[in-house]
Amino acid sequence: MKMKLTTMALTALMAAGPAMADLVFPSLSYRTGPFAAGGIPFADGYADYFTLLNERDGGIGGVMTRVIECETAYNTEKGVECYEATKNEGSLIYQPLSTGITYQLIPRTTADNIPMHTLGYGRTSAKNGRVFSHTFNFPANYWDGASGAVNYLLEINNNDISGKKVALVYHNSAYGKEPIPTLEALAAKHGFELLLLPVDSPGQEQKSQWLQIRQQKPDYVLMWGWGVMNQVAIQEAANIRFPMENFIG
């Protein structure tokens, strides 16, 4: 897979033509919006890394790099606009940093023959390279995370979680919904009850979800949040005295 991704990036480079002076890496950042606390350090680190390569190594293989940053505010529509605005700049590869944006860019990057790397996020089924030829989500994905959480519950319960009740508190978006099919399949396999509790973005209001948790008394809570949603969930869990050793995120 890594070899295929490298080959595609090099193909995109050659297709850009001899007039291109730099290796262009677009950065679909989100320095603004409800999730800026996570987006700012990534955008800074991404830009700093290519600055390091330029100043220390003279670029990559003797060719200088250039980062084109476009602000999405973690908004799917803006993400698509950023892609359309930067794809003809000689862009070699995209990292959308958003599952919603990823879904929209899969057909576009495929048609434009530009690889897309969604490291640990995006559309999980894109791991099937025979279907999704230009999208790469190694080394892990949402289904791996869901499976890992259930395996942990099995480990601490002598490999038997039948009859247990597990609540999934998830971001009500493409990102948050990705693990649901896996958890539903594992619930059927291992005999536990799955309680689905969506939280609308950005996640600052969760009182109704935690009221349901207090009423239905799940044995475990799986947290699938982002940004401010996580800290609010921790506070709400503390408010109802939910045992934090059974809170998994």
Q: Classify domain 2-136 by CATH architecture.
A: 3-Layer(aba) Sandwich (3.40)
For the domain covering 142-248, report its CATH number: 3.40.50.2300
pTM of this prediction exceeds 0.95: no
Other C-beta atoms closer than 10 Å to the C-beta of 184 total 14
Residue 162: which of 195, 196, 190 has the closest Cα?
A: 190
Choice among 22-31, 70-79, 133-142, 182-191 with the minimum mean pLDDT: 133-142
CA nearest neighbour of 83 among 71, 47, 73:
71
Q: What are the boundaries of each domain within the chain?
A: 2-136, 142-248
**pLDDT tens digits along 203-222:** 999 999 999 999 999 999 99
Classified as helix, coil or strand, 32 is coil
Verify cis geometry, omega within 30 degrees of 0, for the bond prior to 139: yes
What pLDDT band is residue 78 in, cutting at 50, 70 and 90?
very high
